[in-house]
Amino acid sequence: MHELPAVLALLDTVQREARQNQFRRVSDIYCTIGELSGYVEECIGMYFESASAGTAAEGAKLHFRRDPAMLECTGCGYRFPHQKGFDCPQCGAPARLIRGTGTGFTIERIVGEGRAESERTDPASAGKAQSTGGQVS
Ligand SMILES: [Zn+2]
């Protein structure tokens, strides 16, 4: 359940990016999930699907990359991504987790389509302009 706020934040960023880049439609979103974040790809995908309905990001494909937590050796200070054990590959001493690593959920890249060409004025706002100054009796 805790993916929802992250998905909404993601969608916010995607929509902002889409506007800035004048994408009519977002086709691919590449993101990184920290292995310790507890986020599940399927859940993110599910929330995203319903939250993005009606936005430029609707139907966009999500691509996930797992971001490993980083460890630091207590013996030699060597830093390495967590894979299996907690032992330093350099000297064999135990390593400890570097706080804050492997917990994020970030967007790496957004791919969009349909760069707006000559649509500076959208018909909706042009139509509204005529209705200004209307009297209310
Ligand atoms: Zn070491």
37-67 tens-digit pLDDT: 999 999 999 999 999 999 999 999 999 999 9
Closest C-alpha among 117, 6, 11 to residue 60: 11
For the chain, the domains span: 3-68+102-115
Distance 98 CA to ligand 1 centre (A): 14
Distance 97 CA to ligand 1 centre (A): 13
Q: How confident is the model at residue 127 (pLDDT cuts 50, 70, 90)?
A: very low
Predicted TM-score (pTM) above 0.85? no
Distance 84 CA to ligand 1 centre (A): 15
Distance 81 CA to ligand 1 centre (A): 13
CB atoms within 10 A of CB 17: 18
Euclidean distance between CA atoms 95 and 68, whole angstroms: 14
| Model confidence at 135: pLDDT above 60 | no
Q: Give the pLDDT mean for 69-97.
A: 95
Q: Determine the CATH number of domain 3-68+102-115.
A: 3.30.2320.50
